[in-house]
């Protein structure tokens, strides 16, 4: 029997590596650790953000949650069931409960099929509806995402990028899921359209009671939609906190750097404040130490202590609900955070 008080989704010590004998022939036995010992919980009805630069492991986490990828180690428990062990009918039922919205709506839609056909697939596969009932559901689904039902017989190329993303959201909603993983759903859209899609996701979450995992490199978008946020860097958790605490009292140097590099809305303050120095792939992380050490301004300000290079910091709870993986998280922040 499922515990009603338990989180809807529980991720424990999740790891995913890429490599192996075939890959090693080219790379010299290099193993890429895309996700490295990640743990978090998501409550039912919550919008949970996963943020970090490109290469931080965000998309890999999302694909493992929906079982498009299997973890190398660790567990993903959805509503009391271990996702990593699902197969057959259990997996089919899981597919109906958990859906994904992809980054590029054009590539995720078959250009040779009409929107009606694309949305009807779910009704047929899961035996949800047929005939007049299916037609009624399709029309209601289009209206739910802000599209005219008269567009059902159009092809994907006949829509704008924002409309195609709404179709992608409609396809995810067609099976009436409990959880949606949205992987960079607004990054390919114009700024004005981004706001519309974010508002749509927020409305759907509130009206349908959806649980949303929102993956993005844009901390501003994440802080608009999500109640709690996990910050990733090179596959590891840097910080987990409620939105307000993350924006106003970020304790990890990487989170502070992300906030400082965000575009400012204050007139006369320029386009950006402080851009993070270097790139996520510029330097190899120290073996056994903090992966952010090569780019960490706090470490440099403290005189480059060896501990950052030799001892991996584990997420520790500074206050209830706020975890930080930094040996010196209680040190004063090197700069003020950005307004969000």
| Helix, strand, or coil (residue 34) | strand
In a domain, 235, yes or no: no
Percent of the chain residues topping a pLDDT of 70: 86
Q: How many domains does the chain have?
A: 1
pTM of this structure: 0.89
Q: Could you write out the DSSP letters of every residue in 76-108? A: EEETTEEGGG--HHHHHHHHHHEEEE-S-TTTT
In a domain, 143, yes or no: no
d(CA 310, CA 308): 6
Q: Could you write out the DSSP letters of every residue in 175-213? A: T--SEEEEESTTTTS-HHHHHHHHHHHHHHHHHHT-EEE
Query: Could you give the residue ranges of the DSSP H alpha helices within the chain?
Result: 21-27, 58-65, 88-97, 115-125, 131-144, 161-173, 191-208, 219-225, 243-248, 253-260, 297-301, 307-310
d(CA 252, CA 296): 10
In a domain, 57, yes or no: no
Residues 136-159, mean pLDDT to the nearest whole number:
96
Domain that holds residue 279: 251-340
d(CA 254, CA 131): 53
pLDDT digits (tens, 9 = 90+) for 80-115: 999 999 999 999 999 999 999 998 888 889 999 999
In a domain, 126, yes or no: no
d(CA 197, CA 145): 9
In a domain, 295, yes or no: yes
Q: Per the structure block, which two tokens stand in for 38?
A: 């990640």
Residues 6+ apart with CB under 8 A from 295: 254, 257, 276, 277, 278, 282, 283
Q: Look at residue 338 in the predicted model and tell me its pLDDT.
A: 43
Q: Look at residue 337 in the predicted model and tell me its pLDDT.
A: 45
CB atoms under 10 Å from CB of 230, counted, come to: 27
Which H/E stretch holds residue 238? strand 236-242
Is the pLDDT score of 3 beyond 90? Answer: no
In a domain, 223, yes or no: no
In a domain, 203, yes or no: no
d(CA 201, CA 185): 10
Residues 293-314, mean pLDDT to the nearest whole number:
92
The conformation of residue 260, written as its DSSP 8-state character, comes to: H
Q: Look at residue 23 in the predicted model and tell me its pLDDT.
A: 46
In a domain, 98, yes or no: no
């Amino acid at each position: 029997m499922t515990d009603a008080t338990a989180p809807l989704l529980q991720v424990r010590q999740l790891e995913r590596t890429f490599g192996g004998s075939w890959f090693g022939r080219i790379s010299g036995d290099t193993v890429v650790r895309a996700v490295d010992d990640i743990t978090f919980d998501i409550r039912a009805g919550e919008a949970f953000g996963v943020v970090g630069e490109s290469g931080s492991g965000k998309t890999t986490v999302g694909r493992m949650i929906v079982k498009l990828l299997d973890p190398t180690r660790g567990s993903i428990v959805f509503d009391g069931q271990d996702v990593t062990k699902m197969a057959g009918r259990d997996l089919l039922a899981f597919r109906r409960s958990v859906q994904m919205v992809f980054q590029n709506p054009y590539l995720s839609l078959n250009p040779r099929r009409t929107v009606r056909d694309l949305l009807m697939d779910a009704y047929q596969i899961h035996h949800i509806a047929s005939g007049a009932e299916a037609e009624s559901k399709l029309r209601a689904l289009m209206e739910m995402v802000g599209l005219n039902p008269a567009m059902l017989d159009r092809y994907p190329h006949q829509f704008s990028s924002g409309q195609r993303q709404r179709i992608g959201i409609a396809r995810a909603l067609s099976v009436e899921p409990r959880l949606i993983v949205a992987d960079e759903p607004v990054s390919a859209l114009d700024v004005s359209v981004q706001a519309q899609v974010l508002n749509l996701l927020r409305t759907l979450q509130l009206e349908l009671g959806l649980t949303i995992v929102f993956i993005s490199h844009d901390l501003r978008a994440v802080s608009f939609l999500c109640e709690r946020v996990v910050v990733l860097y090179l596959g590891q958790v840097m910080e987990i906190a409620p939105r307000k605490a993350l924006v106003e009292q970020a304790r990890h140097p990487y989170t502070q750097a992300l906030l400082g590099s965000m575009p400012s809305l204050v007139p006369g303050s320029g386009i950006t404040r402080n851009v993070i120095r270097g790139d996520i792939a510029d330097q190899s992380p120290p073996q056994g130490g903090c992966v952010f050490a090569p780019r960490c301004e706090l470490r440099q300000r403290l005189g480059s202590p060896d501990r950052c290079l030799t001892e991996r910091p584990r997420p520790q709870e500074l206050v209830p609900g706020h975890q930080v993986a930094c040996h010196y998280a209680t040190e004063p922040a090197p700069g003020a955070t950005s307004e969000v």
